[in-house]
């Protein structure tokens, strides 16, 4: 599959909802009720991070039991992470950064991948390998909307999924940017609410997030 085809698939997934909940989960048994709450609230695209040992098991459970959800694997750091995500049946993989090994592994694979960038040099490495939809991370600490404007200038074909420091209070500003296809954020389903099983609260936040764009 060509780079343009994988980018088109990734854009189609990101277009399903303006906000992608970034999930850090410790107990995989909570993954399915969590996903059902998010989908019921209107957020079908879910990033399950590999920040905990439960990440892959949680993603596997959602893919199996909540077919309406589009599950992405986040915190992909190595080619092995990427390959595991592909074998799992994820809809996409996404990383907080990039390495040449990871870019090339994803180029050789079929699973759509969004590398993480923060600098022009990061973007050159990505664009020259066919990646024009990237994660801008950490979006707010890295300079916010002003930094995104500066990066977008020399790279007019690149589109972004900013993540990091984005919350209910500033999300609409990010979504209004013409180069932003979606945003990622942990505020919709924070770890404390997941541990507490606060599914109704999470569903309501998801519903509010769908109205941001």
32-58 residue pLDDT tens: 999 999 999 999 999 999 999 999 999
Q: What is the pLDDT of residues 177-195, one digit of tens each?
A: 999 999 999 999 999 999 9
Q: How many CB atoms lie within 10 A of CB 91?
A: 23
CATH 3.30.499.10 fits 3-210, yes or no: no
d(CA 159, CA 32): 31
104 is catalytic: no
Domain segments of the chain as ranges: 3-210
Residue 2 token pair: 């060509």
Q: 117: closest CA among 100, 101, 95, 90?
A: 95
70 SS3 class: strand
User: Does residue 11 carry a catalytic annotation?
Assistant: no
In angstroms, the CA 33 to CA 198 distance is 10
Which band of pLDDT confidence, cut at 50, 70 and 90, is reported for residue 4? confident
SS3 assignment, position 85: helix
- Separation of alpha carbons 22 and 6, rounded Å: 21
Share above pLDDT 70 across residues of the chain, in percent, rounded to a whole number: 100
Catalytic-labelled residue, pool 47, 70, 132, 203: 47
Taking phi over 0 as left and psi of -120 to 50 as alpha, with beta for the rest, 165 belongs to left
Q: Which two tokens stand for residue 128?
A: 């020259």
Options 6, 70, 132, 135, the catalytic residue: 135
pTM of the full structure: 0.96
- Residue 135: its pLDDT value, please? 98
């Amino acid at each position: 599959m060509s780079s343009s085809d994988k980018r088109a698939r990734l854009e189609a997934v990101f277009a399903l909802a303006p906000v992608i909940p970034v999930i850090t989960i410790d107990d995989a048994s909570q993954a399915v009720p969590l996903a059902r709450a998010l989908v019921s609230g209107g957020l079908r695209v879910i990033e399950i991070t590999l920040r905990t040992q439960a990440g892959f098991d949680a993603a596997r459970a959602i893919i199996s039991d909540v077919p309406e959800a589009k599950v992405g694997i986040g915190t992909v750091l190595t080619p092995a992470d990427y390959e595991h995500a592909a074998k799992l049946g994820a809809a996409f993989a996404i990383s907080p950064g990039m390495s040449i090994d990871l870019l090339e592994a994803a180029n050789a694979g079929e699973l759509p991948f969004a590398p993480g960038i923060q600098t022009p040099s990061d973007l050159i490495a990505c664009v020259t390998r066919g990646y024009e939809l990237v994660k801008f991370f950490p979006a707010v600490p890295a300079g916010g909307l002003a930094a995104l404007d500066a990066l977008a200038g020399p790279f007019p074909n690149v589109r972004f999924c900013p993540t990091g420091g984005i919350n209910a209070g500033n999300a609409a500003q990010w979504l209004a940017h013409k180069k932003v296809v979606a945003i990622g954020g942990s505020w919709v389903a924070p770890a404390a609410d997941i541990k507490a099983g606060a599914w109704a609260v999470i569903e309501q936040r998801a519903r509010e997030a769908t109205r941001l764009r």
